[in-house]
Structure 1
Amino acid sequence: MSEDTSLTAPVAISENNNKKYAGFWMRFWAYLADLIIVFSINGLILSPFHLFGDMATYKIGLWTVTGILSTLVFYLYFVLMTKYFQQTLGKMIFGLKVIRTDGESLEWGNVIFREVVGRFLHRVFFICIVLYLVVGFTSEKEGIHDLIADTRVIFDR
């Protein structure tokens, strides 16, 4: 009996080996650029709330209106940019791109798990820097959020 050598797993692995994965420091600088962009967007959106005095501190349960809006902007920025462009502005600046491990286009599930669930886990746990340091010790330089979403960050240039 002859074995079928056209399995998709080995092909996906050999295709991924041709990619240059982005390491911790490149991803770190891209993330810092993204944070500056998100804080700027939040400043533009939320500045009218500060003009009206107490609206900035208006509470809904445990959260303030500005806290809810700034968190919403943060997650929407990462989700929408990654879904539609496969990269955020910070990744564009540094020539990085998010891909799926199987080479297919990103689906909403990949993006939601990577950008919302992954980032939420990183922000909730105090040891978030340790979770990001995983990037430096894995063969394809994937973080915990990449492992969850089956994504990788590669150099696009």
Structure 2
Amino acid sequence: MDDMKDKKIEEVLLKGTDEAVELKDMVWKNIENRLNLEERKVIPIKRRSFLKYGIVAAVLVIILLANTRYGSAAADKIRKLFVPNKTIEQNLEGTGEKTKVDLEISPMKYIIYLDKEMYKMDNIDGKDVITPKNVAQNLPEVSMTIEQVLD
């Protein structure tokens, strides 16, 4: 009779410990899931803040360099890297077409490649206006205006 009681007690204890092991595993899984969620939340915030500060620093460096003698000299060197004219390939209506473009330097201190056979660039009231040379009579006027706006 004592053997039966001992066996029942042993069975009850074994069943109880099985549940405890399962509960322990569940607790550890929950802890790991929470840690993974917190890591996911923390990483993007650090990246975003680093990206924000990096962009702000880059803009400040560009502004400071552009307003100095050395910055203007560096910008002139970069401009010299661009070839005066080149041939580019562009897709027009799904067909590849080679176009000869020429470098245009604006008084507003920017450069642009322009297809001089098709377009012309005029400076009107301090604004650069690019218009097509051949204008069809039944189509609306098309142009691109580039202007510098200062606060």
Give the TM interval when normalised to the shorter protein.
Answer: under 0.3
Could you say which structure has the higher helix fraction? 1
Larger radius of gyration: 2
Larger relative contact order (C-alpha < 8 A, sep ≥ 6)?
A: 1
Q: TM-score, normalised by structure 2?
A: 0.25
Q: TM-score, normalised by structure 1?
A: 0.24
